[in-house]
Amino acid sequence: MTKLTKQDIKLELTKNPKEKPDQSALGFGQIFSDHMFQMDWTPEKGWHNPRIEEYSPLSLSPANATLHYGQAVFEGMKAYIAKGEAVLFRPQENFKRLNKSAERMALPQLDEEFALTALKELLKVDKDWIPTADGTSLYIRPFMFAADEYLGVKAGEKVKFLIILSPSGAYFKDGLQPNKIFVEKEYVRAVRGGTGFAKAAGNYAGSLLGQQKAAKLGYAQTLWLDGVEQKYVEEVGAMNIFFKVDGKFLTPELNGSILPGITRDSIIQLLKHNGESVEERKVAIAELYEAAENGKLEEIFGSGTAAVVSPVGELFDGERKVVVNNFETGQSTKDVYEQLTGIQLGKVEDPFGWVEKVEE
């Protein structure tokens, strides 16, 4: 199959550009830019018909395989304006992970280089949609799903890949204020050998009931425990998690059921670069309760593309409640947030070469 290049991307620009949103009132993932990227896959043709076209609804059969069996994967990344130019943060990592997710869900592999080229072309067209107000960015959602009209259970033979863009503000309505997290002991999110490491649509569907339960009790998200013993911390609904205990940073090791977060990896590298001690290992929830009792649980924060760095002020498992740092954002959490967003926005040095310009 021939390798796709930039020249293969058909441009069909909208005749009805939309009004840009008020940047001071941006929520998360509610508004979409003027254009989207789309291409199709079949076993015979491979990926074909790449196009940038008006952002518009898709027409799907009621027998669409994904609606029934959930064969879908996605990514989340962001574009920023840094020193007047559109930039991305470690975008290759997202397409690498998308391919790992696709493999697990029996979807076809993308040419990662072409996917990034397609994203950059889309961003050139919709560059004016990248917001610049404090705490805002253009959230990028690449996704792939089976588009077959067929009710038998089998891997799709008509697959679509799209990229849509959403100017967004903070994922949590309280921004950098601490969140309350509910420790879930009834339901589990993922098990070894399952799909936890993949950014698969169904992982999120399976988490919603726990999320609703947490919300009813006034908690922003669920902290998932391991699917076997419910003893070890895994991750939060839409982010990985870090604990500062007795001066050291701990985060659950990647074990196949946790999403290998790109923000997680970046923060581990940043902390080590700063000379901090970071341990990636099993973190028992009991260990954290004990640290809290001994006054050693200093800070907790979540990490994710949408969530950025999100302080956690309270853990509650239905019986036991732990308040962290008097429900105030800790200094290390603030520092990590400042350093990470500083690199992303070109305000502080990027010793890792993580920031990539959209237009060279």
Find the shortest distance in angstroms from Cβ 152 to ligand COI. Answer: 29
Which two structure tokens, joined as six digits, stand for 332?
Answer: 């290390």
- Which residue of 76, 227, 252, 311 would you call a contact of ligand COI, by CB under 6 A? 76
Sign of CA dihedral 144, 310, 308, 274: negative
Sign of CA dihedral 203, 206, 207, 211: positive
- Which residue of 21, 50, 70, 76 would you call a contact of ligand PLP, by CB under 6 A? 76
- Which residue of 262, 308, 315, 345 would you call a contact of ligand PLP, by CB under 6 A? 262
If one asks whether residue 306 binds ligand COI (CB under 6 A), the answer comes out as yes
| Those residues with Cβ within 8 angstroms of residue 164's Cβ, 6 or more apart along the chain or in another chain | 32, 33, 36, 55, 140, 141, 143
Find the shortest distance in angstroms from Cβ 261 to ligand PLP. Answer: 3
Task: Tell me whether residue 50 or residue 261 sits nearer to ligand COI (CB atom).
Answer: 261
Are 322 and 56 within 8 A, CB to CB? no
- Of 94, 35, 34, whose CA–CA distance to 306 is shortest? 94
Task: Tell me whether residue 147 or residue 285 sits nearer to ligand PLP (CB atom).
Answer: 285
Candidate segments 65-73, 234-242, 314-322, 342-350, binder of ligand PLP by CB under 6 A: 234-242
If one asks whether residue 302 binds ligand COI (CB under 6 A), the answer comes out as no
Question: What character string, x for contact with ligand COI (CB under 6 A) and - otherwise, covers 234-253?
Answer: ----x---------------
Question: What character string, x for contact with ligand COI (CB under 6 A) and - otherwise, covers 20-39?
Answer: --------------------
- Which residue of 65, 259, 336, 345 would you call a contact of ligand PLP, by CB under 6 A? 259
C-alpha pair distances (Å), 306 with each of 133, 172, 204, 320: 16, 9, 15, 29
If one asks whether residue 263 binds ligand PLP (CB under 6 A), the answer comes out as yes
Find the shortest distance in angstroms from Cβ 198 to ligand COI. Answer: 12
Task: Tell me whether residue 17 or residue 135 sits nearer to ligand COI (CB atom).
Answer: 135
User: 41: how many CB neighbours lie within 10 A of its CB?
Assistant: 23
Helix or strand (DSSP H, E) at 73: strand 72-74
C-alpha pair distances (Å), 171 with each of 48, 79, 129, 137, 272: 34, 15, 18, 11, 27
Find the shortest distance in angstroms from Cβ 264 to ligand COI. Answer: 11
Candidate segments 80-88, 139-147, 260-268, 271-279, binder of ligand PLP by CB under 6 A: 260-268
| Those residues with Cβ within 8 angstroms of residue 19's Cβ, 6 or more apart along the chain or in another chain | none
Task: Tell me whether residue 37 or residue 139 sits nearer to ligand PLP (CB atom).
Answer: 139
- Which residue of 121, 148, 235, 298 would you call a contact of ligand PLP, by CB under 6 A? 235
Are 284 and 226 within 8 A, CB to CB? no
Q: What is the rounded distance in angstroms from the CA atom of residue 226 to the CA atom of residue 112?
A: 31
Give 294's DSSP letter: T
Task: Tell me whether residue 76 or residue 178 sits nearer to ligand PLP (CB atom).
Answer: 76
Find the shortest distance in angstroms from Cβ 229 to ligand PLP. Answer: 20
If one asks whether residue 311 binds ligand COI (CB under 6 A), the answer comes out as no
The alpha carbon of 83 is separated from its chain's Cα centroid by a whole number of angstroms, namely: 25
Are 41 and 48 within 8 A, CB to CB? yes
- Which residue of 38, 195, 305, 344 would you call a contact of ligand PLP, by CB under 6 A? 305
Total residues interacting with ligand PLP, rule: CB under 6 A: 13
- By the criterion CB under 6 A, which residues form the site for ligand PLP? 76, 235, 238-240, 259, 261-264, 303-305
